[in-house]
Structure 1
Amino acid sequence: MSIPLKAGARVKSAVCDTQAMVIKAPAGDYDLQCGGHPMLAPDGNADGASLDANFAGGTLMGKRYVNADESIELLCTKGGEGSMVLNGEPLVVKQAKQLPSSD
């Protein structure tokens, strides 16, 4: 199931406590999953799905998650047991940028 992602949108996992807010996303529909199942709108209803062990890497509150080219960015607002995947590609924690050194 694909959902439209736009900045400010909120989503939640159907199988764990993970919740996230979209920070950056180009226009289009995406297959965003957590714990092996499609993520839901904040008022969405989970229908008895269980966490897939292959997608149980966990998410951390306050961390930003991105795809390989950083075109999509999600802020985890509530951590959980499932890991997030976008169109089959695992999302990873965004690394902090190096500041230039001052001498």
Structure 2
Amino acid sequence: MNINDLSDQQIIEIAHPMWDDLIQYSNKGQYGKFIRKFSYELLLGLNEVELGKQFKHSTLSRNLSEERDFLGLIRRGEHVTALYRVRSTEREGEWLGRMVLGYEKGEVRIFAASIF
């Protein structure tokens, strides 16, 4: 199955709760829950030491506002990217949040996630 066969609304209904979970678990520093929807491919490529450091030391990744502005979807191949405007509860300014979704073994999984 290709996620791009779904309508925008269907993808949004999947993406928003997944994004909200990422923010919640990032703020709480719950690494195991943060990665639970990651694709196998993404998990293989993670540098767990660096990710652990980010969770421990990053003011941004531990203080993200749960409020988000959905900016849109970008479709490419067998993946779709959901884009969000993100703010911090501790730092001034705005960041771009990106989450790439696709199917893996019949389930929608996260193939990439970042805030920049």
TM-score exceeds 0.5: no
TM-score by length of 1: 0.26
Bigger proportion of residues as strand: 2
The one of the two structures with greater contact order (alpha-carbon pairs below 8 A, sep at least 6) is 1
TM-score, scaled relative to structure 2: 0.24
The structure carrying a bigger helix percent of its residues is: 2
